[in-house]
Amino acid sequence: MNILTLKDAALHVHKKVILSKETVHIYAGEKIALVGRNGCGKSTLLRVLAQELDIEEGVYIPKPGLSIAYLCQNHKNVPECSVETFLHEVLKAPHLAFQAEELLLTLNLDPKQKLSQLSGGELRRAYIARTLLIPSDLIILDEPTNHLDIVGIEWLESWILKSKQAFIIVAHDRKFLKNVTQRTLWLHQGKLRSAPVGFEGFETWQETFLQEQIRIQSRLDVKLAQELRWLARGVTARRRRNEGRLSRLKELRAQKANFSKNQQKMVPSRQDDVGLTRQLMEGWNLGYTLPEGRGLFKELNFRLLKGDRIGIIGPNGCGKSTLIRVLTKEITPSEGILKTASTLHWSMFKQNQPIEELSFSVKRFLCSQGSDYVDVQGKQRHVVAYLKEFLFSPEQAHCLVQMLSGGERNRLRLAKLLSQSPDLLILDEPTNDLDIETLDFLKDFLLQYAGTIIIVSHDRDFLDDVVSSVLVFESQGKVREFVGSFSEYLQAESERHAFFKIPEKSSKPCAEKSSSVEASARSSLKKEKLSYREKFLLENGLQEIEELLDQKRRLEEQLVHFQRNSPLPLNASQIEQLSVMSQTLCECLEKIQEKEEAWINVAEKESRLCSKDEKDCLLRPVLN
């Protein structure tokens, strides 16, 4: 069932085309990925769909009574209230209070804690929980995996796959999108194209689509065909680079494994620095305990070699940032010995680090001396050529930094940091807000980088394509080094540790889901009149729904009365009674939803039959 249509929509922001008379249909229960380069307008389009921003031309057509929940990318003006109050403000039914308590427990959030006291990951979880609790037909998520640890991402995947609601998702985490989506919307240069596959099959579809467009446009518009060929080459090259990347990583992992195997264990000396060898850093039985007595990690043994790419993985709050501070000698470990090379020089990319030079041009941000050239790892490069590698256009070199999107600013910060040539590069959540093309370029850049890299990230696909080994925070404060990718770690160790699990994919193939939508649309065209049952439903359905709504109101009143008059703690009989009442209310809500959907389907069918023009308008895009 079509729940939302954006028809012939046009929108410009700062003279930039976001939508150029585009039409999109959203169907009930769909899980949709929205993809496109940073700055193309993905977040703006989400705001349009959430009715937070009006379009300049076109029509916004929601189904009657459509309700939408929207998770924005950045949280401004965080309210001064507890987590519990924050969640309960959106609850419209008493039975959802129990669901809220379950979410708080699952997401490990203290209901009494103030929002202003939460970490970035905890605040993100609170906003995600609030969004999911809002009774809605469509949930819009803008970068939900930002600041979310792998445990939280796995939980969110499970929730989305089980939900009957429709989802539109913008995310940089490829594996997350592959696991949960069934259709992909591609926003490129103001055009919005729909791929009838989830993100897992999107690149294959995109390559086939571009080749077909090249064939068509070669006869009509040579210049456009050339642009499409350039775009298609980028897609094809990305797939080939993935194969080369895997080969390079296998070599790095084999070298790391051989060194670890052949290196004899010896008692470390008490000197502060290690010699000028291939070994840059070494830790023995490292541990750190907070002043209040809570231990973050313990018994960490590792060696950091020149050329290593090490990923650090663990849940929010486990101590990853503290470990980085220990490794950079910002703080001293509570136990164990850390040795580093005497000449070790390092640089760090910190997440959420603001850019102070907002009034600078992009060119001046990179070339503070006013030159047209930037020093990139000891070599002079023209600033425009270097920016093009980070997917900036030549015109953007003269654009003010404050005019860039969040993802573009992150790209610019990375460009400046990666132009340096430290022995050790530390990247703390570098993938946040980056688009697919930038992530692909970043992977290649890091594998070709001559120095050593430590990456803190929750992006599983990114880690699999970049790191040679991982430091994994396991249960009870244990941290261990595993030579290989995070996926290989999951295959080998996930049964032993409760923090991580191998995500389950949707049991129903994407192709089957899209074909069922198409088959339903085609069969509806063949029906030329309402059946007797449909006529009866159209005439009597609203009365049945009203009766069910009365029943729902009575059940809610009984539940509220029971809660107010039942002192805590509840005994076994009261718990059983409460469970029966909640189950009865849930069943009533499901009946209301079924009746409403059935009535709306018949009403829409009658409307289509009454107007051939309207029928063509609504159904032809589905079949195409």
Query: What is the CATH T-level fold of the domain 1-203, as seen in this structure?
Result: Rossmann fold (3.40.50)
Q: What is the pLDDT of residue 622?
A: 35
Residue in 592, 595, 618 with CA at minimum distance from that of residue 606: 618
CATH superfamily for domain 277-498: P-loop containing nucleotide triphosphate hydrolases (3.40.50.300)
Q: Range with the lowest mean pLDDT among 96-100, 292-296, 548-552?
A: 96-100
Q: φ and ψ at 110, to 5 degrees? A: -80, 115
Distances (CA, A) of 19 to 7, 36, 393, 407: 11, 13, 20, 19
Q: Range with the lowest mean pLDDT among 41-45, 111-115, 564-568?
A: 564-568
Q: What is the pLDDT of residue 568?
A: 63
7 three-class SS: strand
Residue in 472, 467, 473, 438 with CA at minimum distance from that of residue 454: 467
pLDDT at 176 over 90: yes
Residues 6+ apart with CB under 8 A from 19: 9, 10, 11, 41, 45, 48, 55, 58, 190, 192
Q: What is the pLDDT of residue 487?
A: 83
166 three-class SS: strand
Domain ranges of the chain: 1-203, 277-498, 530-601
User: What is 191-203 written as a DSSP string?
Assistant: EEEEESS-GGGHH
Distance of CA 232 to the CA centre of its chain: 25
Euclidean distance between the first and final Cα of the chain, in Å? 16
- Which range of 51-65, 98-112, 146-160, 236-250 scores highest in mean pLDDT? It is 51-65
SS3 content of the chain, % helix, strand, coil (to 5): 50, 20, 30
Residue 315 in tokens: 């849940």
Extended beta strands in 112-223, E state: 138-142, 166-170, 183-188, 191-195
Residue 167 in tokens: 């989802």
pLDDT category of residue 613 using cuts at 50, 70 and 90: very low
Do domains 1-203 and 277-498 share one topology? The answer is yes
Q: Range with the lowest mean pLDDT among 130-144, 428-442, 472-486, 569-583?
A: 569-583
Which letter, b or e, does each residue of 389-402 get, where b requires 16 or more Cβ atoms within 10 Å of its Cβ? ebbbeeebbeeebe
Q: Cα(440)–Cα(395) distance, rounded to whole angstroms?
A: 23
